[in-house]
A = this chain, B = another copy of it.
């Protein structure tokens, strides 16, 4: 069963993902969660702490799941990575990427959001770098500066999601990803 705190974390993430932090209404979050105001203030000091906790816990958990496979594999790192990149079913092109949304909205406005998003985006880059390092380790790829390549890949992925959101056309994401894979394949 979902605890009150979990209800709040989930409703907040969805509401912030849909309307942004500033656009997210506390009353709407409470209505969606089915939790009363005072109850929420029992668990969180204010709207900001609620949002920060919601973003951190939700995204870190999703990411841990998403990249766990790297630990369990012994080969085929790039192929598996491409497969997951190509999988559009896990994407929400209407709302975009939750990380990018919050970075864009809040990084220059609030220091606490800035700090959190820095660490989340950093973790994203680290996850991609770990895949590349594994690929090099098992000779699926030539040695190269994986920090920079991971930066390039994450940037292009975020750009691809943005392009699809802007045009309303998921194919734009696919097209960018295919070109990105061509680029990575040149490092074989």
Q: Scoring A residues 44 to 70 as 1 if CB is less than 8 Å from chain B, else 0, what string do you get?
A: 000000000000000000000000000
- Report the Cα distance A88→B149, complex, angstroms: 20
Please state if A107 and B166 are interface contacts (CB–CB under 8 Å): yes
Binds B, one of A35-43, A74-82, A94-102, A134-142: A94-102
Whether A109 is near chain B, meaning CB under 8 Å from some CB there, is yes
Given A96-B104, A108-B96, verify A163-B154 contact (CB < 8 Å). yes
Please state if A176 and B152 are interface contacts (CB–CB under 8 Å): yes
Please state if A148 and B163 are interface contacts (CB–CB under 8 Å): no
Assembly of this chain: how many copies? 2
CB distance from A28 to the nearest CB of B (A): 13
Whether A114 is near chain B, meaning CB under 8 Å from some CB there, is yes
Given A96-B104, A183-B183, verify A154-B159 contact (CB < 8 Å). yes
Interface centre among A157, A159, A168, A172 (most CB of B within 10 A): A159
Whether A167 is near chain B, meaning CB under 8 Å from some CB there, is yes
- Report the Cα distance A180→B20, complex, angstroms: 30
CB distance from A14 to the nearest CB of B (A): 13
Please state if A151 and B163 are interface contacts (CB–CB under 8 Å): yes
Q: Nearest 4 A-B pairs (CB), nearest first?
A: A155-B159, A159-B159, A121-B166, A22-B23
Given contacts A23-B105, A151-B175, 7 further A-B contacts (CB under 8 A): A19-B109, A22-B23, A94-B108, A107-B168, A151-B172, A152-B176, A157-B159
> Would you list 27 pairs from A and B whose C-beta atoms are within 8 A, ordered by A residue?
A101-B104, A103-B166, A104-B104, A104-B165, A105-B105, A114-B168, A117-B166, A118-B166, A121-B167, A148-B175, A149-B179, A151-B172, A151-B175, A152-B156, A152-B175, A154-B159, A155-B156, A155-B160, A155-B162, A155-B163, A155-B176, A156-B156, A156-B159, A157-B159, A158-B163, A159-B159, A159-B162
